[in-house]
């Protein structure tokens, strides 16, 4: 229900906010809900706030798991 | 878009689909509820239902905070804008919710009420700062994902002495809604839940453990991207096949067992449980919603403006109640697609693009027409 | 030609002056505004004659006429402004009929207090757009409304053109089997404008695609491809326009999501706000529906033109009594691309 996207922190603005970059667009959002966010971190952004840091290692692990699944022929369409 | 595009890979999605088809062998089939509107949206947008075998059926749950918002609560917001002359700040999602007297916030705005769309609670605070002589009310809707941003705003308002700022609090709780669906002994037997993505980012995976334990239903928390949803469905199928009922986390890159403790603490500081709260379609549920604590009473619009809550019954023909519980499908509603369409929504399920009816109207309708 | 320069009590102060009620009253002040601001910018003999109407040369051929009103906010945005938008918009509407645009009119409703410097910027922009397109603004009107009753400026343009012999383009001519082509990326204009809206604003390298498409249409007509429909997907986006045509022609459509070009920054901005690029406005793109056999030739012609170098075949017309516009998603599933009720709104849910 909650639209949120993973964005990269480009700049800390010093007042508890950060400028994030998401696929080429930038916006200033609040870091009030996360601690120790640094430039280069990815955060999940919802309604103008970073909700959580994205664990990049976990993301890579998940993608590796998908890639590592045995290749099955396409299932017939339903 | 990094960490988005990779999770939308078509070839990988089709491969997961093939695995689901291979493993979903239970003769009775699999009825899985995606609780969260964002998942409903993803399933519709990507046509994920076309990738699933026919015996795996996705049921749309009530996880759309706009859908479960009773008419009477939106009436309050409109009343504040029209009769109290406040600047009513809201997320765009609420603007077209139909309420009493054929009004919507959008129509109230057209009539001259000062209703303003905001992206963030920070925008509402800025409006308060810029308009010291006017009352500013923020229409606070949403599940646990959206509550922390409201908490931050209320605390900042208190620190800054922004006494013209207040909130109309309609924050609701996910576990309460899940409990309402499971505890009613709903006619629809559900085999498992796809758990919300971003709500879980905040609350963690732990709150779902009682459901798995007490009702024997597996819960798999999934991210919003198609690969996440497909993988979660596969994990649910596996649990059902093995007779397991556990909480599993597919969205490990953003969800931990304990969640965001800082956000939870902020919410806890500002809010307390309401004894009961009316949910559209689910009735009045105990301990299912939040209100501001007494220390923040000055920022509570209900207290500040003395507006009471008047329950408004749904339209007689509206089946939102049964649809929100997963008991009926939108096409089983008499007025679906005729009197009730996205252009003229009768119930909330049609207003929000994630409501089961709007999603079915927008994406799913053609499948039936083709048959 | 006589040009009497009346003596005015004060000169027109474009830099610091503002629109006043008298500028719309038909008296000296209005004449001063026209002579000092509009006429020099739109400079052409028809306008200079100073009559209520423009006396135009005889034209042979079937006439097309179109009109548009422009109320965009903000007035100025990356890639254009309400002025260039209004000129391009009407030129395009005429061109979509397969007609060569010949003349434009421009009527202004100005809000009392609107800065003359902004008005000059807009009028100059219209002048440049009209000159670049080779279509003069030959007549117009100015009215002023009280402060608070207008959004700065509203512009209504109308245009006339002549259709080539043998060409008939119309929304009800699409037939099952026809190819659907799109001239380029979608969502650029709408997101460029949105990026400057209060509260929703963001920074992104997104520029409005506002452009006059009549040159592109000329090359497409020259290609000899059997064209059925041309239409520019403005308000409501690609989705609205395709649904309109589906309904008019009594057909359905099957699109391929992976074929529809979207700029990276537009896609990201849409994701961020919960918007679907299919419903976002475009001001410099067109949809062409043609006989399937002619699609490769038409595509090549379009791609050779600077305004359509990213043109693509995005789908085909199918028989469908429900007139659904369907799309195969990037994942291989299917969805309906429905016609939205009103403006698409951002969402947090």
| Residue indicated by tokens 């955060």 | A43
Nearest-10 Cα torsion for B18, B21, B23, B27: 180
- Note the pLDDT of residue C232: 97
Q: Which of C326, C330, C348 sits opposite B10 (nearest CB)?
A: C330
- Note the pLDDT of residue B314: 77
If DSSP codes are grouped into helix, strand and coil, which group holds residue C339?
A: coil
Judged by phi (left if over 0) then psi (alpha if -120 to 50, else beta), residue B248 lies in beta
Q: At B109, which helix (H) or strand (E)? A: helix B105-110
User: Could you tell me if C251 and C176 are in contact, meaning their C-beta atoms sit under 8 angstroms apart?
Assistant: yes
Q: Is the pLDDT of residue B38 over 90?
A: no
ipTM of predicted complex: 0.93
Residues 6+ apart with CB under 8 A from C157: C67, C68, C70, C86, C87, C89, C90, C104, C105, C106, C107
Q: Which chain B residues touch A49 with a CB distance below 8 Å?
A: 120, 148-149, 152
Q: Is the pLDDT of residue A78 over 50?
A: no
What whole-number distance in Å separates Cα of residue C257 and Cα of residue C263? 14
DSSP B362: I
- B35 phi and psi, to 5 degrees? -70, -35
If DSSP codes are grouped into helix, strand and coil, which group holds residue C230?
A: strand
Report whether the peptide linkage leading into residue B235 is cis, meaning its omega lies within 30 degrees of zero.
Answer: no
User: Could you tell me if A54 and B253 are in contact, meaning their C-beta atoms sit under 8 angstroms apart?
Assistant: yes
Helices (H), chain C: 28-33, 39-42, 45-48, 82-95, 116-133, 188-194, 214-222, 237-249, 264-273, 295-303
Q: Which chain C residues touch B361 with a CB distance below 8 Å?
A: 338
- Note the pLDDT of residue C3: 54
- Note the pLDDT of residue C1: 42
β-strands C312-318, C334-336: how paired? Answer: unpaired
Q: Is the pLDDT of residue C53 over 70?
A: yes
- Note the pLDDT of residue C294: 98
Q: Is the pLDDT of residue C2 over 50?
A: no
Q: Which of A2, A26, A47 sits opposite C204 (nearest CB)?
A: A26
| pLDDT tens digits, one per residue of B111-161 | 999 999 999 999 999 999 999 999 999 999 999 999 999 999 999 999 999
Q: How confident is the model at residue C210 (pLDDT cuts 50, 70, 90)?
A: very high
Token digits of residue B103: 């009004």
- Note the pLDDT of residue B173: 95
Mean pLDDT calculated for residue range B349-363:
77
User: Cβ contact (<8 Å) for C349 and B64?
Assistant: yes
User: Could you tell me if C326 and C254 are in contact, meaning their C-beta atoms sit under 8 angstroms apart?
Assistant: yes
Which residues sit opposite A2 in a β-bridge?
Answer: none
- B289 phi and psi, to 5 degrees? -150, 170
By the 10 Å C-beta count (0-12 exposed, 13-18 middle, 19+ buried), C5 is classed as exposed
> What residues 18-77 of chain A have any CB closer than 8 A to a CB of chain B?
22-23, 29-30, 32-35, 42, 44, 46-49, 51-52, 54-56, 58-59, 61-63, 66-67, 69, 71-77
User: Could you tell me if C107 and C148 are in contact, meaning their C-beta atoms sit under 8 angstroms apart?
Assistant: no
User: Could you tell me if B127 and B136 are in contact, meaning their C-beta atoms sit under 8 angstroms apart?
Assistant: yes
Q: Count CB-CB contacts under 10 A for residue C30.
A: 16
User: Cβ contact (<8 Å) for C345 and B44?
Assistant: no
Q: Count CB-CB contacts under 10 A for residue B168.
A: 25
- Note the pLDDT of residue B187: 60
Percent of chain C topping pLDDT 70: 97
| pLDDT tens digits, one per residue of B280-330 | 877 899 999 999 999 999 999 999 999 989 988 877 888 887 887 777 888
- Which subunits sit against A, judged by 3+ Cβ pairs under 8 A? B, C
Of the segments A40-54, A59-73, B332-346, C39-53, which one has the largest average pLDDT value?
A: A40-54
Q: Is the pLDDT of residue C90 over 80?
A: yes
CA-based max dimension of chain C = 72
What whole-number distance in Å separates Cα of residue B321 and Cα of residue B340? 15
Q: Which chain A residues touch B7 with a CB distance below 8 Å?
A: 63
Residues 6+ apart with CB under 8 A from C68: C86, C89, C90, C93, C156, C157, C158
Mean pLDDT calculated for residue range C35-52:
87
Mean pLDDT of chain B: 91
By the 10 Å C-beta count (0-12 exposed, 13-18 middle, 19+ buried), B293 is classed as middle
């Amino acid at each position: 229900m909650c639209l949120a996207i993973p964005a990269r922190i480009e700049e800390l603005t010093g007042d508890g906010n950060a400028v994030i970059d998401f696929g080429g667009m930038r916006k200033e959002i609040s870091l009030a809900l996360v601690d120790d966010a640094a430039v280069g971190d990815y955060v999940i952004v919802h309604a103008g706030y970073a909700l959580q840091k994205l664990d990049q290692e976990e993301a890579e692990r998940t993608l590796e798991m998908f890639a590592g699944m045995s290749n099955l022929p396409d299932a017939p369409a339903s | 878009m990094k960490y988005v595009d990779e999770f939308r890979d078509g070839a990988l999605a089709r491969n997961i689909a093939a695995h689901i088809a291979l493993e979903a062998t239970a003769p009775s089939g699999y009825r899985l509820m995606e609780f969260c509107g964002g998942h409903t949206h993803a399933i519709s947008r990507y046509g994920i239902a076309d990738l699933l075998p026919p015996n795996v059926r996705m049921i749309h749950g009530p996880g759309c905070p706009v859908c479960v918002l009773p008419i009477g609560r939106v009436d309050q917001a409109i009343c504040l804008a029209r009769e109290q002359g406040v600047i009513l700040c809201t997320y765009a999602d609420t603007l077209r919710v139909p309420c009493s007297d054929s009004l919507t916030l959008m129509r109230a705005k057209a009539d001259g009420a000062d209703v303003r769309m905001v992206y963030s609670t920070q925008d509402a605070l800025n409006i308060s700062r810029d308009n010291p002589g006017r009352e500013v009310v923020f229409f606070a809707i949403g599940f646990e994902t959206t509550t922390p941003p409201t908490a931050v705003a209320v605390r900042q308002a208190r620190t800054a002495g922004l006494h013209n700022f207040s909130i109309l609090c309609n924050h609701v709780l996910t576990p309460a809604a899940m409990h309402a669906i499971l505890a009613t002994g709903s006619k629809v037997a559900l085999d498992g839940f796809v758990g919300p993505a971003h709500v879980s980012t905040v609350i963690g995976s732990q709150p779902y453990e009682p459901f798995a334990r007490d009702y024997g239903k597996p819960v798999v928390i999934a991210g919003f991207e198609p690969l996440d949803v497909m993988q979660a469905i596969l994990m649910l199928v596996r649990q059902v096949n093995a007779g397991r009922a556990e909480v599993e986390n597919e969205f490990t890159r953003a969800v931990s067992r304990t969640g965001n403790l800082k956000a939870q603490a902020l919410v806890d500081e500002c809010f307390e449980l309401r004894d009961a709260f009316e949910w559209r379609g689910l009735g009045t549920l105990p301990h299912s919603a939040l209100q501001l604590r007494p220390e923040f009473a000055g920022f509570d619009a209900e207290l500040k403006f003395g507006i009471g809550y008047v329950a408004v019954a749904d339209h007689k023909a509206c089946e939102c109640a049964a649809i929100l519980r997963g008991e009926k499908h939108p096409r089983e509603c008499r007025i679906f697609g005729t009197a009730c369409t996205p252009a003229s929504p009768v119930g909330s399920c049609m207003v929000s693009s994630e409501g089961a009816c709007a999603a079915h109207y927008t994406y799913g309708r053609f499948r039936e027409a083709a048959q | 030609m006589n040009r009497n320069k009346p003596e005015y009590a004060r000169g027109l102060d474009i830099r610091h002056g503002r629109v006043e009620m008298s500028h719309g009253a038909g008296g000296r002040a209005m004449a001063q505004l026209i002579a000092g601001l509009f006429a020099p910018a739109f400079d052409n003999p028809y306008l200079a004659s100073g009559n209520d109407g423009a006396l135009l040369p005889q034209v042979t051929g079937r006439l097309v006429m179109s009109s548009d009103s422009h109320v965009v906010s903000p007035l100025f945005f990356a890639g254009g402004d309400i002025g260039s938008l209004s000129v391009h918009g009407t030129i395009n509407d005429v061109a979509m009929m397969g007609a060569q645009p010949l003349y434009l009119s421009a009527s202004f409703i100005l809000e009392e207090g609107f800065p003359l410097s902004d008005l000059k910027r807009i009028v100059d922009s219209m002048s440049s757009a009209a000159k670049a397109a080779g279509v003069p603004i030959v007549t117009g009107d100015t009215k002023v409304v009280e402060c608070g009753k207008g959004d700065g400026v509203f512009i209504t343009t109308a245009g006339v053109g002549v259709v080539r012999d043998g060409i008939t383009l119309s929304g009800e001519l699409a037939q099952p089997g026809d190819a659907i082509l799109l001239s380029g990326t979608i969502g650029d204009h709408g997101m460029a404008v949105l990026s400057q809206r209060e509260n929703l604003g963001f920074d992104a390298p997104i520029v409005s695609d506002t452009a006059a498409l009549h040159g592109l249409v000329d090359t497409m007509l020259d290609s000899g491809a059997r064209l059925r429909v041309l239409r520019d997907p403005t308000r409501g986006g690609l989705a609205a326009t395709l649904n309109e045509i589906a309904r008019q022609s009594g057909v359905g459509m099957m699109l391929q999501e992976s074929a529809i070009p979207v700029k990276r920054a537009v896609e990201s901005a849409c994701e961020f706000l919960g918007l679907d690029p299919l419903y976002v406005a475009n001001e410099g793109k067109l949809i062409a529906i043609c006989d399937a056999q002619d699609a490769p030739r038409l595509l090549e012609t379009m791609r050779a033109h600077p305004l359509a170098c990213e043109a693509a075949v995005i789908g085909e017309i199918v028989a469908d009594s429900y007139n659904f516009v369907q799309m195969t998603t990037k994942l291989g599933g299917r969805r309906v691309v429905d016609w939205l009720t009103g403006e698409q709104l951002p969402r947090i849910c």
